[in-house]
C-alpha cells in the first residue's frame, strides 16, 4: 500500500469535497448554478471541476509542472477577475491538504506513509506558490491590456500626426542587451 | 490541525474558502437582496462619471463633475421627485415598459443566461434581479400592493443607497438581450435597462464613456470628435497603405453630391486597429466594383451612443444619416460592419427619423452590380454590407481566391445587435465561407440567437472597467478557446466595431493565440484585383504563407 493507492481509492470523494470547497467561495445563490454540467452555459463551474480533477490526476501521476500549471492557470485566470482578494482567489489549493487529512489521515498513519504524505504536502505547497505566480501574471496582463488599449485607440491618429513610431521587435530584443530605445 | 500563527496576520486558508462575504444571502421569502444596500462600488467594475462639459454640450440635466467612488454624487435636491416623475412619465408613454414592470413571475429562466452573471456569480447580475432593483421602486410607488405591503410585495423605498445600487447594476448590463431569448413572457430586459438609464440621465448620472462620444458625435459627427479634414486624411492614409500591399490605388470620394450610394460606418473602423483593416477592405471592394459611392465627413459615424442614453438622444444623433443622404441626393445608404448602429437602424430609424428623409431622392435599395432589390431594406433605405457582398458572391460578381486566406482558421462571433436585433445570421457566414476555406462554428448555445456578448457593449468598453469586461466576456472567450483547441482556430471574425475593440483584449487574456478580424478585411485579402501586383503580405503587412516573394 502506498499513498497513491489511497488517493486513487478516495479520488471521487476527495475531488467532490475539493470542488464543493472551491464553489463555497461563491455567493450562496450561485453555487447550484456553478454545479451545472454544461461547458458552454457554465464555463466557471466547468473550468473549476475539470481543472481540479486534472490537477489531482497530475499530482497522483507526478505530472510535470507545465501540465499542472496549465490547469491551475485556467482556474486562477477566472478567479483573478472575480470578486476575490488575491488570497481568496488562490485559497482553494490549501483546501486539498485539509480534505486529504480528513479523509485519509488516520489510514496514512496506520500504513506508515507519513514520509510520502509530507512529500505530497510539499507538492501542494508548491502548487500554491505556482498559483501566486499565475495570479500575478494574470493581474499584470490586465494592466498591460489597459495600457495597450489606450495606445491602440490613439495609435493611428498619432501616426498620422507624425507623433509616433513603432519600436520594431528587433529593437525590442536589443533592449535586453542594454541597447535602450527611447520612445518619441 | 496545524494553523498559521495569529501573529502573521494572514487569513487561514480553510476559513478563506468558507467565509467570503458576498452580502446577505437568499432570494426566497427573506428577499435578502432587498437589504443589501449600501452597495459596495468596486474599482474595475464601473465606468467613470460623465464630465460636466460633455453633458452641457448636449443640454443634459445636472452637469457637474462628480466621482462614482465619492459619497456625494451631487444630485439635485429634488432628485427623488425627478426619478419618480420620470418613471411615471415613461410608464405612461411606453406600454412595453409598463408590461415589463408588471408581468414578470420570477420564473428564473433568464437568471443564468446573462454573461455577467455566468462570469461572476453575482446574484444581482441575474437579469431578473437586476430588473427587480427597478421594479421594487415601481411597486412601492405605483402599485397598491407595494404601497400597502412594502417589502412583502417586493417593494422598497427609493433611497440614496437604493439609487446607487440601481445605478451600479444598470451599468453592468450591455443591453445584449440574451436573457430575453429565454423569457417565456418575452420581457426585453434591455429595454428595462434602457428605461433605467434614461432615469439616471435625468439626474446627470451618465458615464463618460457614453457621454463623451455622445457630445463628440453631436459636435463633429463621430465618437472621437474627429473633424472632417482629419477624417479624410485618415482615409487617404489607408489609400497609400492599400497601394503598398496590392499595387492598386483606390480613389474614394467624400461628400460627393449626386453619388448613387452614401456609405456610413462606425468611426472605430477609421481610427482604431484592427477595424482600420476592415475599412481598407471596404475601400478595396468599392474600387474593384467601380461603385458610385461616397463617404461623408459629417455622417462620419454609424455608432450611436444615444441608444445608451435616451431614446431622444438616439434619434437626435441618428438624424444625420438621413439628413446627409438628402443633402447629397443619394438613392440609398450602405452601412458598414457595426453592432448597435444596426439595432438603431433596423429597429428605429425607419420610423423615428422618417421626417428628416422627406423630400430626399432615396429609393428602395437596388444593387447596381447584380440588380438585386433589397426588399428587406425598403423601410430604412439602408443595406448591411454583408447583405450586399453576399449578394455579389451569390451572383459571381466578385473574383476571390480563398486560398489567400488558407493560413486562417476562422470562427464567427455573432454580435448581439446584428443577431438578436436584426436576425443577421446567414449573410456574414456566407461571405466568410466564400473567402476562406477553413471555417468552424462555435458550440450552438454560444452563437446565433444565443450568442454571448463581447462583455463591452452598450458603452461599457472603457478601460477602467476591465474586470467587468473580463467577467462578461468569459463565456464568449470560453467558446473560442474550445474551437481553438479542437480545430486550431486562429481568427475570430465579427461584424461589429465594438467587438473589434473589445474582443482583441478578451482574446489576449483568455486565448492569446486567436486574433480578431472584420469580415471585409478577409474579403479584401481574398479579392483578386484588376492590375494588382503579386501579393506577398495581407492588409496588416503580415506575410502570406506560400505566397512569399521568392527574390
pLDDT tens digits, residue range B118-152? 999 999 999 999 999 999 999 999 999 999 999 98
Residues B364-408 have pLDDT tens digits of 999 999 999 999 999 999 999 999 999 999 999 999 999 999 999
Confidence class of residue A165 from pLDDT cuts 50, 70 and 90?
Answer: low
Consecutive H or E run containing B411? strand B410-413
**Higher pLDDT pick, A154 / B145:** B145
- Which among A29, A43, A152 is the nearest to B25, CB-wise? A29
Specify the number of domains making up chain A: 2
Higher-pLDDT residue of B493, A160: B493
Quick one: average pLDDT of B269-276? 90
pLDDT at B550: 53
Average pLDDT over residues B317-345: 96
Min Cα separation A31/chain B (Å): 8
pLDDT higher than 80, residue B440: yes
- Please tell me which of the candidates B10, B272, B471 has its beta carbon nearest to residue A81: B471
Residue B486 has pLDDT above 80, yes or no: yes
Sign of CA dihedral A164, A168, A172, A177: negative
Chain B residues within an 8 Å CB radius of A159: 237
Residue B492 has pLDDT above 90, yes or no: yes
ipTM greater than 0.85: yes
Query: Are residues A157 and A95 both part of a single domain?
Result: no
Q: Give per-residue burial for B411-432: e unless 16+ CB within 10 Å, then b.
A: bbbbbbbbbbbbebbebbbbbb
* Selected residues 326-385 of chain B with any CB under 8 Å from a CB in chain A: none
Task: Give B72's pLDDT tier (boundaries 50, 70, 90).
Answer: very high
Torsions phi, psi of B263, nearest 5?
Answer: -105, 125
Across the interface, of B14, B120, B475, the residue whose CB is closest to A83 is: B120
Q: Please check the confidence at residue A4 and state whether its pLDDT lies above 90.
A: yes
At residue B350, the pLDDT reads 84
Query: B508-528: per-residue pLDDT in tens?
Result: 999 999 999 999 999 999 999
pLDDT in tens, A9-47: 999 999 999 999 999 999 988 999 999 999 999 999 999
Query: Are A78 and B121 within 8 A, CB to CB?
Result: no
Q: What is the predicted pLDDT for the residue at B54?
A: 97
- Of all residues in chain A, the percent with pLDDT exceeding 90 is 73
B24 reaches A (C-beta below 8 A): no
Nearest CA of chain B to the CA of A144: how many Å? 10
What is the full DSSP assignment across B123-182? GGGSHHHHHHHHHHHHHHHH-HHHHHHGGGGT-----HHHHHHHHHHHTT-----HHHHH
Kindly determine whether residue B237 and residue A160, on different chains, have CB atoms separated by under 8 Å: yes
B509 with A141: Cβ contact below 8 A: yes
B118 with A82: Cβ contact below 8 A: no
pLDDT, mean of residues A120-124: 93
pLDDT of B339 reads 94
Q: What pLDDT does B56 receive? A: 97
**B117 and chain A in contact, CB less than 8 A:** yes
The reported pLDDT for the residue numbered A153 is 74
Q: Grid coordinates in use for B438?
A: 477553413
| Cβ distance of B510 and A25 shorter than 8 Å | no
B271 touches chain A (CB under 8 A): yes
3-state DSSP call for residue B384?
A: strand
Identify the closest residue of chain A to B463 by CA–CA distance: A146
Q: Does B23 touch chain A (CB under 8 A)?
A: yes
Q: In what order do the strands lie in the sheet with B491-494?
A: B410-413, B491-494, B515-518
How far away is chain A from the Cα of B281, in angstroms, using its nearest Cα? 17
* Identity of the highest mean pLDDT range in B17-21, B105-109, B203-207: B203-207
- Can you give the pLDDT at residue B14? 62
pLDDT, position A63: 87
Find chain B residues with C-beta within 8 A of A153's C-beta.
Answer: 271-272, 501
The reported pLDDT for the residue numbered A143 is: 95
Interface contact flag, B26 A29, Cβ < 8 Å: yes
Q: Which residues of A touch B276 (CB under 8 A)?
A: 156
State yes or no: pLDDT of A181 exceeds 70.
no
Phi, psi dihedral angles at B367 (to 5 degrees): -70, 120
The verdict on a CB contact (< 8 Å) between A27 and B25 is yes
Q: What is the pLDDT of residue B421?
A: 92
Q: Does a structural domain hold residue A26? A: yes
* Pair (A34, A76) in one structural domain: yes
**CA-based torsion, B533, B539, B542, B545: positive or negative:** negative
Q: Which chain B residue's Cα is nearest to A102?
A: B1
For B412-429, what is each residue's pLDDT tens digit? 999 999 999 999 999 999
* Mean pLDDT, residues B245-251 taken together: 97
Which residue in this structure is represented by grid cell 430588473?
B131
**What average pLDDT does range B57-69 have in this prediction?**
97
Closest approach of B75 to chain A, Cα-based (Å): 29
Give the model's confidence band at A158: pLDDT under 50 very low, under 70 low, under 90 confident, else very high. confident
Q: Which of residues 129 through 168 in chain A touch B, CB cutoff 8 A?
A: 138, 141-142, 145-146, 148-150, 152-153, 155-157, 159-160
Q: For residue B306, how many other CB atoms are within 10 A of its CB?
A: 23
The mean pLDDT value of chain B amounts to 93
Give the distance from residue A88's alpha carbon to the nearest chain B alpha carbon, in angstroms: 6
| Average pLDDT of span A54-59 | 95
Record: contact A141-B237, CB cut-off 8 A: no
- Residue B29's pLDDT is 42
Q: A87, B10: Cβ pair inside 8 Å?
A: yes
Q: Is B472 on the interface with A (CB under 8 A)?
A: no
CB pairs under 8 A between A and B: 143
Residue A1 has what pLDDT? 78
* Digit-coded pLDDT (tens) for B199-211: 999 999 999 999 9
How far, in whole angstroms, is CA B378 from its chain's centroid? 24
Q: Establish if A80 belongs to a structural domain.
A: yes
Q: Taking residues A143-163, what's their average pLDDT?
A: 81
Confidence of residue A183 (pLDDT cuts 50, 70, 90): very low
From B282, B301, B103, B158, select the one nearest B220 (Cα to Cα): B301
Check whether residue A133 and residue A162 sit in a common domain.
no
pLDDT at B32: 67
pLDDT value of residue B375? 96
* pLDDT score, position B9: 62
What's the confidence (pLDDT) of residue B19? 57
At residue B37, the pLDDT reads 67
Long-range contacts of B350-359 (CB under 8 A, 24+ apart): B350/B379, B350/B380, B351/B379, B352/B311, B352/B314, B352/B315, B352/B318, B353/B315, B353/B318, B353/B319, B353/B321, B353/B322, B354/B322, B356/B319, B356/B322, B356/B323, B356/B326, B357/B322, B357/B325, B357/B326, B357/B381, B359/B326
In a domain, A21, yes or no: yes
Identify the pLDDT of residue B13.
Answer: 61
Q: A 20-79 residues with CB below 8 A of B?
A: 21-22, 24-30, 33-34, 36, 38-44, 46-47, 77-78
Asked if residue A155 and residue A111 are part of one domain, the reply reads: no
Q: Which of A149-163, B13-27, B184-198, B239-253 has the lowest mean pLDDT?
A: B13-27
Q: Are residues A133 and A153 in the same domain?
A: no
Query: Which chain B residue is nearest to residue A26, measuring alpha carbons?
Result: B121
Mean pLDDT of B349-354: 90
Q: How confident is the model at residue A169 (pLDDT cuts 50, 70, 90)?
A: low
Measured between alpha carbons, how far apart are the two ends of chain B, in Å?
A: 72
Q: Read off the pLDDT band of B5 (50, 70, 90).
A: low
Which sequence spans correspond to the domains of chain B?
27-206, 213-526
**Which has more confidence, B332 or A181?**
B332
Q: What is the pLDDT of residue B551?
A: 46
Model-level pTM? 0.93
Query: Based on the domain organization, do A134 and A155 belong to the same domain?
Result: no
A13 lies in which domain range? 3-138
Q: How would DSSP label each residue in B424-460?
A: --HHHHHHHHHH-S-B-PPPGGGSGGGPPP-S--TT-
Q: Looking at CA atoms only, how far is residue B512 from chain A in angstroms?
A: 11
Q: How many residues does chain B have?
A: 551
User: Which chain B positions have a beta carbon within 8 Å of A150's beta carbon?
Assistant: 463
Please state the rounded mean pLDDT for residues B473-497.
98
Question: Are A153 and A121 members of one domain?
Answer: no
pLDDT confidence tier of residue B21, bands split at 50, 70 and 90:
low
Give pLDDT tens digits for B168-201: 999 999 999 999 999 999 999 999 999 999 999 9
CB contact under 8 A, A77 and B237: no
Per-residue pLDDT, B344: 95
CB nearest B16 (choices: A87, A138, A150): A87
pLDDT at A179: 43
Amino acid at each position: 500500500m502506498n499513498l497513491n493507492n489511497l488517493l486513487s481509492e478516495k479520488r471521487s470523494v476527495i475531488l467532490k469535497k475539493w470542488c464543493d470547497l472551491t464553489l463555497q467561495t461563491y455567493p450562496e445563490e450561485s453555487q447550484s448554478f456553478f454545479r451545472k454540467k454544461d461547458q458552454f452555459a457554465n464555463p466557471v463551474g466547468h473550468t473549476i471541476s475539470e481543472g481540479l480533477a486534472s490537477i489531482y490526476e497530475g499530482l497522483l501521476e507526478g505530472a510535470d509542472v507545465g501540465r499542472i500549471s496549465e490547469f491551475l492557470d485556467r482556474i486562477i485566470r477566472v478567479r483573478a477577475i472575480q470578486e476575490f482578494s488575491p488570497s481568496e482567489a488562490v485559497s482553494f489549493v490549501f483546501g486539498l491538504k485539509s480534505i486529504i487529512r480528513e479523509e485519509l489521515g488516520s489510514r496514512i498513519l496506520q500504513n506508515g506513509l507519513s514520509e510520502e504524505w509530507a512529500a505530497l504536502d510539499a507538492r501542494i505547497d508548491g502548487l500554491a506558490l505556482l498559483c501566486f505566480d499565475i495570479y500575478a501574471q494574470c493581474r499584470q496582463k490586465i494592466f498591460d491590456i489597459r495600457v495597450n488599449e489606450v495606445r491602440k485607440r490613439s495609435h493611428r491618429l498619432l501616426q498620422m500626426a507624425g507623433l509616433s513610431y513603432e519600436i520594431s521587435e528587433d529593437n525590442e530584443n536589443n533592449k535586453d542587451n542594454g541597447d535602450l530605445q527611447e520612445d518619441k | 490541525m496545524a494553523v498559521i500563527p495569529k501573529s502573521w496576520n494572514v487569513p487561514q486558508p480553510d476559513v478563506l474558502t468558507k467565509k467570503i462575504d458576498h452580502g446577505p444571502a437568499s432570494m426566497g421569502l427573506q428577499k435578502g437582496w432587498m437589504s443589501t444596500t449600501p452597495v459596495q462600488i468596486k474599482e474595475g467594475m464601473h465606468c467613470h462619471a460623465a464630465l460636466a462639459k460633455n453633458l452641457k454640450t448636449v443640454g443634459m440635466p445636472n452637469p457637474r463633475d462628480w466621482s462614482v467612488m465619492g459619497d456625494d454624487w451631487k444630485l439635485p435636491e429634488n432628485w427623488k421627485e425627478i426619478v419618480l416623475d420620470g418613471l411615471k412619465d415613461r410608464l405612461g408613454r411606453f406600454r412595453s415598459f409598463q408590461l415589463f414592470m408588471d408581468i414578470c413571475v420570477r420564473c428564473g429562466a433568464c437568471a443564468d443566461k446573462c454573461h455577467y452573471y455566468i462570469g461572476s456569480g453575482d446574484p444581482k447580475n441575474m437579469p431578473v434581479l437586476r430588473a427587480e432593483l427597478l421594479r421594487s421602486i415601481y411597486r412601492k410607488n405605483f402599485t397598491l400592493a407595494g404601497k400597502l405591503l412594502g417589502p412583502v410585495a417586493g417593494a422598497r423605498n427609493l433611497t440614496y443607497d437604493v439609487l446607487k445600487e440601481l445605478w451600479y447594476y444598470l451599468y453592468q448590463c450591455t443591453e445584449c438581450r440574451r436573457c430575453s431569448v429565454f423569457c417565456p413572457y418575452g420581457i426585453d430586459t434591455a429595454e428595462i435597462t434602457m428605461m433605467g438609464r434614461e432615469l439616471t440621465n435625468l439626474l446627470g448620472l451618465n458615464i463618460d464613456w457614453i457621454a463623451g462620444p455622445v457630445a463628440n458625435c453631436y459636435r463633429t459627427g463621430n465618437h472621437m470628435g474627429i473633424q472632417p479634414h482629419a477624417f479624410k486624411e485618415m482615409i487617404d492614409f489607408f489609400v497609400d497603405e492599400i497601394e503598398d500591399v496590392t499595387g492598386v490605388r483606390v480613389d474614394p470620394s467624400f461628400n460627393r453630391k449626386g453619388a448613387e450610394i452614401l456609405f456610413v460606418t462606425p468611426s472605430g473602423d477609421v481610427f482604431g486597429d484592427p477595424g482600420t483593416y476592415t475599412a481598407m477592405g471596404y475601400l478595396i471592394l468599392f474600387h474593384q466594383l467601380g461603385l458610385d459611392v461616397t463617404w461623408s465627413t459629417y455622417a462620419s459615424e454609424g455608432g450611436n451612443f444615444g441608444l445608451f442614453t435616451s431614446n431622444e438622444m438616439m434619434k437626435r444623433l441618428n438624424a444625420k444619416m438621413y439628413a446627409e443622404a438628402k443633402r447629397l441626393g443619394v438613392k440609398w445608404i450602405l452601412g458598414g460592419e457595426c453592432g448597435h448602429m444596426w439595432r438603431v437602424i433596423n429597429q428605429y430609424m425607419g420610423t423615428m427619423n422618417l421626417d428628416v428623409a422627406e423630400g430626399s431622392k432615396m429609393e428602395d435599395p437596388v444593387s447596381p452590380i447584380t440588380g438585386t432589390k433589397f426588399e428587406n431594406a425598403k423601410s430604412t433605405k439602408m443595406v448591411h454590407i454583408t447583405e450586399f457582398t453576399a449578394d455579389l458572391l451569390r451572383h459571381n460578381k466578385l473574383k476571390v481566391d480563398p486560398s489567400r486566406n488558407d493560413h486562417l482558421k476562422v470562427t464567427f462571433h455573432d454580435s448581439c445587435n446584428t443577431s438578436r436585433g436584426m436576425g443577421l445570421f446567414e449573410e456574414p457566414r456566407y461571405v466568410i465561407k466564400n473567402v476562406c476555406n477553413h471555417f468552424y462554428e462555435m458550440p450552438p448555445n454560444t452563437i446565433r440567437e444565443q450568442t454571448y456578448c463581447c462583455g463591452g457593449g452598450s458603452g461599457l468598453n472603457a478601460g477602467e472597467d476591465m474586470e467587468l469586461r473580463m467577467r462578461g466576456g468569459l463565456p464568449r472567450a470560453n467558446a473560442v478557446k474550445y474551437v481553438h483547441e479542437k480545430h486550431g482556430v486562429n481568427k475570430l471574425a465579427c461584424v461589429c466595431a465594438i467587438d473589434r475593440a473589445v474582443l482583441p483584449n478578451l482574446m489576449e487574456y483568455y486565448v492569446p493565440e486567436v486574433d480578431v478580424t472584420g469580415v471585409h478585411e478577409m474579403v479584401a485579402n481574398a479579392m483578386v484585383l484588376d492590375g494588382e501586383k503579386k501579393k506577398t503580405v495581407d492588409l496588416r503587412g503580415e506575410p502570406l504563407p506560400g505566397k512569399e516573394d521568392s527574390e
